[in-house]
Amino acid sequence: MTTGRPSRPSSRGRGIPEATVARLPLYLRALTALSERGVPTVSSEELAAAAGVNSAKLRKDLSYLGSYGTRGVGYDVEYLVYQISRELGLTQDWPVVIIGVGNLGHALANYGGFASRGFRVVALLDADPHRIGERVAGLHIRHVNELEDVVAEHNVSIGVIATPASAAQDVCDRLVGAGVTSILNFAPCVLSVPEGVNVRKVDLSIELQILAFHEQRKAGRAASLAPVATVGQNLARPLDGAPDLSRRTVPDEDDLPEAMRA
């Protein structure tokens, strides 16, 4: 805490770019795999390939943490695993609570990738009375009313929302009220939180939509004659701010509109 070396662009220096932070877990995973295979040292080129990025980016990213490599040699795998873990805060234990134990909540509760990185699921909460007591992943499902108790009891600072969209904001508010300052949201909706609370969102269908966008392009490129978008380009018509005809009437698209999840 006394260190004042200005030569190190690390954490204090300026702060690690978000894009870099988002890639550290990738490097960590690749390094863990190498570590398990007993590989002692790795070059930026090799590690970059394993993580799916280019080596310049990798070296730049790592340089934000410090100078942990050796010129002419590479990086010591174990040492780098530790440094990245530490930077990410994974050398400590993170009690996590999951709210919403539907299919997704189940999957999350059983997901091995959490435990192995210091995330410990301390409670599963659900609003459905019929589910209370049910055993999932070694835990008994508790009622969401116990949220505040659970958070206090286990000092939870990370909450995972896996409820339907309709319940998400309420649950979010309660988490925040109970003192949780990091939220991972799987519900397909935007959460509003006060300053100082961090929210990250995982949206299963958004990724699919992005793929569809590119897939469509490919199709269009391959065969401009293809039967692509046939559903209503005839509807494509400017707006008006006045009478409005040619609107999307498309039946098949509005039917299970936000059929949300469960």
Q: What is the pattern of x (binds DNA, CB under 7 A) and - over residues 202-241?
A: ---------------------------------------x
- 245 lies in the binding site for DNA (CB under 7 A): no
Residues 7-46 touching its own copies, rule: CB under 8 A, are 10-15, 21-22, 24-26, 28-30, 32-33, 35-36, 41
Give the residue among 65, 116, 122, 80 at the shortest CA–CA distance from 99: 122
Q: Which of 32, 35, 63, 181 binds DNA (CB under 7 A)?
A: 63
Residue whose entry in the numeric block shows the structure tokens 């070396």? 5
* Residue 63, binding choice from its own copies, DNA, none, Cβ under 5 to 8 Å by partner class: DNA
Q: What is the pattern of x (binds its own copies, CB under 8 A) and - over residues 136-175?
A: ---------------------xx-x---------------
Residue whose entry in the numeric block shows the structure tokens 């590119």? 214
Residue whose entry in the numeric block shows the structure tokens 């990370």? 158
- 39 lies in the binding site for DNA (CB under 7 A): no
Give CA separation, 19 vs 47, 58, 69, 114, 210, in Å: 18, 11, 21, 22, 20
**Residue with smaller CB distance to its own copies, 14 or 135:** 14
CA distance 74 to 6: 24
**Residue with smaller CB distance to its own copies, 32 or 146:** 32
- 115 lies in the binding site for its own copies (CB under 8 A): yes
Q: What would the DSSP string read from start to end of 7-61?
A: T--IIIII---HHHHHHHHHHHHHHHHHHHTT--EE-HHHHHHHHTS-HHHHHHH
The answer to whether residues 65 and 16 touch, using CB atoms and an 8 Å cutoff, is yes
Residues 65-104 touching DNA, rule: CB under 7 A, are 67-75
Task: Quickly list H helices, the chain.
Answer: 18-36, 44-51, 55-63, 77-88, 103-110, 112-115, 147-154, 165-178, 204-222, 251-254
The answer to whether residues 90 and 25 touch, using CB atoms and an 8 Å cutoff, is no
∠94-95-98 over CA atoms, to 5°?
A: 125
- 56 lies in the binding site for its own copies (CB under 8 A): no
* Residue 60, binding choice from its own copies, DNA, none, Cβ under 5 to 8 Å by partner class: DNA
**Residue with smaller CB distance to its own copies, 56 or 231:** 231
Q: Which of 56, 107, 190, 250 binds DNA (CB under 7 A)?
A: 56
- 251 lies in the binding site for its own copies (CB under 8 A): no
Q: Which residues bind DNA (CB under 7 A)?
A: 7, 9, 17-20, 42-45, 53-57, 59-60, 62-63, 67-75, 241-242, 244
